Amino acid sequence: MLIKLSRPSDCKESDITPESLYLSRRALLGGTAAALAVGSLPRWAAAAEVSQYADVDAGAAPNWFAEKLPGTQWQAVTVKGEAITPFKDATHYNNFYEFGTDKGDPAANAGALPTSPWTVVVDGEVGKPGRYALEDFMKPYQLQERIYRLRCVEAWSMVIPWLGFPISALLKQVEPTSKARYIRFETLQDPKHMPGQRSGFALIDWPYVEGLRLDEAMNPLAILAVGMYGRELPNQNGAPLRLVVPWKYGFKSIKSIVRISLVEQQPRTTWQNIAPEEYGFYANVNPTVDHPRWTQARERRLPSGLFSPNVRDTQMFNGYADEVASLYSGLDLRKNY
């Protein structure tokens, strides 16, 4: 993106969960058995047991999240045969420009952001607009665990277990009008707690904005996430509410959302404003359409280092072609990058 040349992750080899160990743990903890076990365990023990991820910082979940967690549908979607990225990497190698441009800045600076109370506004072309405290906003939704690949436009990738719910469920609640064609998302503006918003880094016209076509948002893979690795979202990953659209480059997955608007016109997004020839509205992961400054045919799966670069071929739509390719039939993906 603006943006640094890629550099090896800081992660040590010893931080990596060997795939064999990870796979055998998963075999032990089948989804149904694990879900049944939840009720009988203390809150965080339950999360750790069920989600089985190593070295996860337990966090300090707000009450509404802790109350919802036992009802979670674990492993509702998963990625077969690919190791989940260690929690440490997923939470210390981040893009969240509101907190700085280095990969370590969000972990270093986001901790002080107050995420409770949090208000979400739903407005625009909807029958039921509203302004909700997050706990009320979340009431209708059951959490699901979705284990997805995350592919950044910078050509690194991870596998992350998210906790969230389909955007289609939200759209059902708020009743888009017949004029609604796109959905626009906006991140919090809080220069006091977001140093990137008060620095001389003026390239971004805050707030960070992203958008989807309505039919993309309705796709069952598109979710709003409130947690990851069996716990609430860490601030650097977009607490308390972020978008996750796994077939698109990571910059579409806007963090710390405060406003969701149904609109008639295609919204102008943050990265389109900065460099329209490099970052399009669609941003579908596509190994055959290179970024003007680098190839998109391959990616570094994190953690990666000088002696184990962990490079792999990028998959069309990040491996989700069966689920999403039909959304784009007839669309020239070279022009609509």
Q: Site residues (CB under 6 A) for ligand MTE?
A: 1, 94-98, 150, 152, 187, 208, 237, 250-251, 253-256
* CB neighbour list of residue 284: distance below 8 Å, 6 or more residues apart: 247, 248, 249, 317, 324, 328, 333, 337
Query: Which residue's CB is nearer to ligand MTE, number 152 or number 241?
Result: 152
Query: Which residue's CB is nearer to ligand MTE, number 4 or number 131?
Result: 4
C-alpha of 198 from chain center: 25
Q: CB of 251: closest distance to ligand MTE in angstroms? A: 4
Query: Which residue's CB is nearer to ligand MTE, number 144 or number 237?
Result: 237
Query: Which residue's CB is nearer to ligand MTE, number 94 or number 144?
Result: 94
First-last CA distance in the chain: 14
Strand partners, 163: 145, 227
**Is 201 strand, coil or helix?**
coil
What's phi and psi for 300, nearest 5 deg? -95, 120
Does the annotation list 97 as a binding residue?
Answer: yes
Q: CB of 242: closest distance to ligand MTE in angstroms? A: 7
Q: CB of 178: closest distance to ligand MTE in angstroms? A: 30
Q: CB of 250: closest distance to ligand MTE in angstroms? A: 3
Q: CB of 187: closest distance to ligand MTE in angstroms? A: 4
Residues of the chain by 3-state class (helix, strand, coil), percent to 5: 30, 25, 45
- Distance of alpha carbon 202 from alpha carbon 205, whole angstroms: 7
**Is 186 strand, coil or helix?**
strand
Does the annotation list 242 as a binding residue?
Answer: yes
Query: Which residue's CB is nearer to ligand MTE, number 97 or number 320?
Result: 97
* CB neighbour list of residue 209: distance below 8 Å, 6 or more residues apart: 184, 185, 186, 187, 254, 267, 268, 269, 270
Residue nearest to ligand MTE (CB): 250
Alpha helices, H only, the chain:
19-28, 31-37, 43-51, 63-68, 87-92, 105-109, 134-138, 167-174, 195-198, 214-218, 270-274, 321-324
Q: CB of 211: closest distance to ligand MTE in angstroms? A: 13
- Distance of alpha carbon 186 from alpha carbon 210, whole angstroms: 7
* CB neighbour list of residue 70: distance below 8 Å, 6 or more residues apart: 38, 39, 46
Does the annotation list 94 as a binding residue?
Answer: yes
Q: CB of 257: closest distance to ligand MTE in angstroms? A: 8
Query: Which residue's CB is nearer to ligand MTE, number 256 or number 304?
Result: 256
Does the annotation list 318 as a binding residue?
Answer: no
Does the annotation list 157 as a binding residue?
Answer: no
Query: Which residue's CB is nearer to ligand MTE, number 95 or number 296?
Result: 95
Does the annotation list 253 as a binding residue?
Answer: yes
**Residues tagged in the binding site annotation for Mo-molybdopterin:** 94, 97-98, 152, 187, 237, 242, 253-255
